[in-house]
Amino acid sequence: MQNIDTIFVPDSQGSLFSGGPPLRYSGPMSSRDIRAVVFDLDGVLADSEGLHILAWEEIAGHYRIPGTRMPLHEWIGYPDTEICKDVVREHGLAIRPEDLLEHKRRIFRRLVTERLTPIPGSVEALREIDSIPLAVATSSSRTEAELMLRILDIIDRFRVIVTSNEVERSKPYPDSYLLAVQMLDVPPGHCVAIEDSISGVHSAREAGLTVLAVTNSVPAGRLGEADRIFPSTAEAVRWIKAHL
C-alpha cells in the first residue's frame, strides 16, 4: 500500500476532507522511533460500535424516525454531541440536542453493561507492548470510556485517557490525539495510533502520528489515509511489537 502524503483539514463548517489548505506529512516513522501507542476505544479495543447502532435504533423507534433516514454506519467514529445536533435539526425533533444526547447515552450505558465484549485478541495484545506507554483517545464521553475500560479490565493499562470531555473539538479534528501525545510527553512523530474509522484515521494523521487502521468496523477501501491497514487490532499490535 502506498503512503499518502497530502491530507486536507476540515473546513470552517466542519466538512471532512474539503476546504482548507493541504498539510504536508512526511510519512511513517522508522521502526526504531516508536515510543508510545495511542488506541482508539470503540471498535479497536471494545466491540461497541454495534451497541452504538443498537442505541440509535432504539432512539429512532422512540422518536419515530424512519430507520432509512439515519445513516448509522456513516456515524462510526463521530462524536454523539455532533450527531445529536444533526438529528434534532434534520428531523425537527421537539427536544434539545443535549437531552437527546443524554437519552442516547443512557441506552448505550445499559447496553454496554449488559453486552460489552472486547474486540477479539485486543486485550491479550496489550501485553505484547507493555514496555512503552499507552494511551486512549476516544470520541466517547469520560463516563462511557471509563465504564467500558473497567468492564474490559484494562483501564490500568493506560497512562493517559483522553475523551470528548477534555477537548473542544473531537474527531475528525486532531485535538484528541494532540492532547494525548502532549500528556504522554512524546512527540507525535514518535507515536503510533490504532484506529478503525475514517474520522479517527484523519484525526490521528492530522495530528502527525503514524496511523495503523484496522478493518473491525469499516472496509479497508475507506481507510486509505492510514499508513498501514490490518485485519485486526491484534495484527496491528504485532506489527508494532516487531518494530520496537
**Same structural domain for residues 104 and 128?**
no
Point out the residues that are catalytic.
40
Per residue in 31-56, pLDDT (tens digit) is 458 999 999 999 999 999 899 989 98
Greater confidence, 2 or 57? 57
Greater confidence, 19 or 160? 160
**Same structural domain for residues 99 and 182?**
no
**Same structural domain for residues 216 and 133?**
yes
Cβ atoms within 10 Å of 13's Cβ, excluding its own: 7
Average pLDDT over residues 111-134: 96
- Domain boundary at 100, 115, 130, which? 115
Cell (9 digits) for 121: 485478541
Phi, psi of 199 (to 5 degrees): -65, -35
Residue 235 in any domain: the answer is yes
Residue 63 makes CB contacts below 8 A (sequence gap 6+) with 91, 93, 95
Check whether 199 has a pLDDT greater than 80: yes
The whole model's pTM is what? Answer: 0.81
**Same structural domain for residues 57 and 138?**
no
How many domains does one find in the chain? Answer: 2
The predicted pLDDT at position 110 comes to: 97
CA distance 89 to 100: 12
CA distance 71 to 216: 18
Per residue in 141-187, pLDDT (tens digit) is 999 999 999 999 999 999 999 999 999 999 999 999 999 999 999 99
**Same structural domain for residues 76 and 102?**
yes
Greater confidence, 75 or 191? 191
- 94 burial (CB, 10 Å; 0-12 / 13-18 / 19+) is exposed
**Same structural domain for residues 89 and 189?**
no
Residue 1 in any domain: the answer is no
Q: What CATH number is associated with residue 180? A: 3.40.50.1000
**Amino acid letter, residue 220:** A
**Same structural domain for residues 42 and 53?**
no
Residue 137 in any domain: the answer is yes
Helix (H, G, I), strand (E, B) or coil at 161: strand
CA distance 240 to 244: 6
- Domain boundary at 115, 130, 149, which? 115
Long-range own/partner contacts, residues 19-25 (CB < 8 A, 24 or more apart): 23/206, 25/205, 25/208
- Domain boundary at 115, 148, 167, which? 115
* Helices (H) then strands (E): counts for the chain: 8, 8
- What is the span of the domain harbouring residue 233? 6-47+117-242
Residue 123 in any domain: the answer is yes
**Same structural domain for residues 22 and 97?**
no
**Same structural domain for residues 16 and 60?**
no
Residue 124 in any domain: the answer is yes
CA distance 149 to 158: 10
Greater confidence, 83 or 197? 197
The crossing angle, in degrees rounded to 10, of helices 97-115 and 142-151 is 0
